[in-house]
């Protein structure tokens, strides 16, 4: 095992927990792609809370366990991570949680629409799609995820289950997980006030353009 990559997975798990977009029992898993190899490092514990280096295993993108011990219950969700690495060469990190508000939408089989600007600026201008339910780790569940995720989209709700986010780096994947949870929480609160309102399509595009222009220029300093 590469100690640096193990540490990176442990640090990413700690950041997911610290960010708060996670259920009370801490259930979830984090994986990192190994650059230049058909492999990933993957968390083998049922909870991300208190995860240590002994809870990280090395798995081939064909699903073969290469190093470490992986309990069957965790092994069952390997395929939804490897599928993202197979389908999306740009993806370097995949995070799965049951973050409570986003999971409420997943349980209701309802997409999270573009109610907050951060969704528009992070590749979710068309909202967070919902993958139809399939038994955990089944081929059906994985093919439903693949069907729901369009190119460039970094998050998907797993019906009656939870959330899957994926991006180039752990920082970005964790950021997306937080944005999705925040949008879901705001929308559920807004339901007491007549319901959330989606940002109009042209303004979603404008928000993205503005964010990209700002990124390119940066903040002016004196």
Query: Any residues with CB less than 8 A from the CB of 152 and at least 6 apart, and which?
Result: 123
> Using CA atoms, how far apart are residues 101 and 163, in angstroms rounded to an integer?
10
Closer of 15 and 27 to Zn ion (Cβ): 27
CB of 137 to Zn ion, least distance (A): 10
Task: Classify 156 as helix, strand or coil.
Answer: strand
Closer of 146 and 210 to Zn ion (Cβ): 146
Q: Are strands 39-43 and 56-60 parallel, antiparallel or unpaired?
A: antiparallel
CB of 86 to Zn ion, least distance (A): 20
Question: Interacting stretch for Zn ion, rule CB under 5 A, among 82-90, 106-114, 159-167, 191-199?
Answer: 159-167
Over its C-alpha atoms, the chain yields an Rg (Å, rounded) of 17
Which two three-digit tokens encode residue 185? 């929480």
177 counts as binding Zn ion under rule CB under 5 A:
no
> Using CA atoms, how far apart are residues 81 and 165, in angstroms rounded to an integer?
10
Cα pseudo-dihedral 195, 200, 205, 209, rounded to 10: -80
The stretches of 48-159 forming alpha helices (DSSP H) are: 72-75, 78-87, 100-107, 117-121, 139-148
Among all residues, whose Cβ is closest to Zn ion?
162
CB of 38 to Zn ion, least distance (A): 24
CB of 164 to Zn ion, least distance (A): 9
Closer of 121 and 144 to Zn ion (Cβ): 144
Q: Exactly one of 162, 177, 178, 196 binds Zn ion (CB under 5 A); which one?
A: 162
CB of 77 to Zn ion, least distance (A): 6
Question: Interacting stretch for Zn ion, rule CB under 5 A, among 1-9, 123-131, 139-147, 157-165?
Answer: 157-165
Residues engaged in binding Zn ion (CB under 5 A) = 162
């Amino acid at each position: 095992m590469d100690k640096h990559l193990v540490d990176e997975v442990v640090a990413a798990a700690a950041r997911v927990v610290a960010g708060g977009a996670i259920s009370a029992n801490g259930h979830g898993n984090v994986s990192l792609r190994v650059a230049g190899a058909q492999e990933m490092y993957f968390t083998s514990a049922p909870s991300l809370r208190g995860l240590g280096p002994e809870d990280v295993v090395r798995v081939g993108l064909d699903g073969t366990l290469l190093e470490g011990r992986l309990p069957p219950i965790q092994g069952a969700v390997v395929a939804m991570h490897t599928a993202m690495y197979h389908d999306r060469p740009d993806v370097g990190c995949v995070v799965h949680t049951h973050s409570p508000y986003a999971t409420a939408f997943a349980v209701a089989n309802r997409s999270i629409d573009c109610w907050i600007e951060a969704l528009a600026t992070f590749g979710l201008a068309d909202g967070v799609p919902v993958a139809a339910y399939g038994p955990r780790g089944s081929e059906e569940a994985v093919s439903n995820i693949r069907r729901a995720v369009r190119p460039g989209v970094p998050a998907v709700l797993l019906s009656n289950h939870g959330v899957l986010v994926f991006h180039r780096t752990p920082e970005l994947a964790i950021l997306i997980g937080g944005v999705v949870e925040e949008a879901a929480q705001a929308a559920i609160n807004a339901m007491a006030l007549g319901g959330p309102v989606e940002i109009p399509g042209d303004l979603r595009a404008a928000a993205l353009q503005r964010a990209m222009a700002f990124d390119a220029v940066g903040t002016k300093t004196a």
